[in-house]
């Protein structure tokens, strides 16, 4: 049975391995030093006002994770959440693990009186787009820029 829960200190090493796979294997980004991944995870675990890290676990094995960062919306004058990452190991996709992680994020937003939840995905990631639409997400009217 898959359990969705907040990450704790004992998860950091396993979660760092999963996060490396997400960064390098899935998004084809350069591999960051492991100590930087671990430091980032420890920072989020140490200060819940910054957000939350969820893990999906089954039989002591991590299947995926979701990362929410809390920020502020000037337009709404309230705190809001950004779902920065939602990742499920390829072998566990199609088993509702992603849905459970996403639902945990929605619950977090409601329970913490946040004004909303926003996220982004790659233009060519049609699987993710279909998933988010199935979960009730709508494409934003806002354009996203980077530099």
Could you tell me the two tokens for 77? 């004058």
Q: Give the pLDDT score at 20.
A: 97
Burial-class residue 89 by CB neighbours within 10 Å (0-12, 13-18, 19+): middle
CB environment 47-56: b (16+ within 10 A), e (fewer): eeeebbbbbb
- What is the secondary structure of 94-140 as a DSSP string? TTTHHHHHHHHHHHHHHHTT-S-EEE---TT-HHHHHHHHHTT----
Q: 92-96: which pairs have CB atoms within 8 A and are 24 or more residues apart?
A: 92/56, 92/63, 92/64, 95/2, 96/2
Residue 89 dihedral angles phi and psi, to the nearest 5°: -55, 140
pLDDT digits (tens, 9 = 90+) for 46-99: 999 999 999 999 999 999 999 999 999 999 999 999 999 999 999 999 999 999
Name the DSSP letter for residue 11: G
Q: Give the pLDDT score at 88.
A: 97
Domain boundaries, the chain: 3-133
CA–CA dist 116, 110 (Å, integer) = 8
CA–CA dist 105, 135 (Å, integer) = 12
Question: What's the CATH code, domain 3-133?
Answer: 3.40.630.30
pLDDT digits (tens, 9 = 90+) for 112-139: 999 999 999 989 999 999 999 999 999 9
Plot region of 28 (φ>0 → left; ψ -120 to 50 → alpha; else → beta) = left
Could you tell me the two tokens for 123? 């233009």
């Amino acid at each position: 049975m898959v359990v969705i829960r907040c990450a704790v200190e004992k998860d950091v090493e396993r979660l760092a391995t999963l996060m490396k796979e997400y960064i390098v294997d899935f998004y084809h980004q350069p591999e960051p030093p492991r100590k930087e991944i671990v430091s980032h995870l420890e920072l989020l675990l140490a200060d819940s006002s910054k957000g939350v890290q969820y893990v999906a676990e089954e039989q002591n094995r991590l299947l995926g994770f979701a990362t929410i960062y809390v920020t502020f919306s000037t337009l709404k004058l309230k705190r809001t959440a950004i779902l920065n990452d939602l990742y499920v190991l390829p072998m566990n996709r199609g088993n509702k693990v992603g849905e459970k992680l996403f639902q945990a994020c929605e619950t977090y937003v409601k329970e913490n009186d946040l004004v909303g939840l926003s996220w982004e995905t790659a233009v060519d990631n049609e699987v993710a787009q279909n998933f988010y639409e199935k979960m009730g997400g709508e494409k934003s009217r806002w354009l996203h820029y980077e530099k």
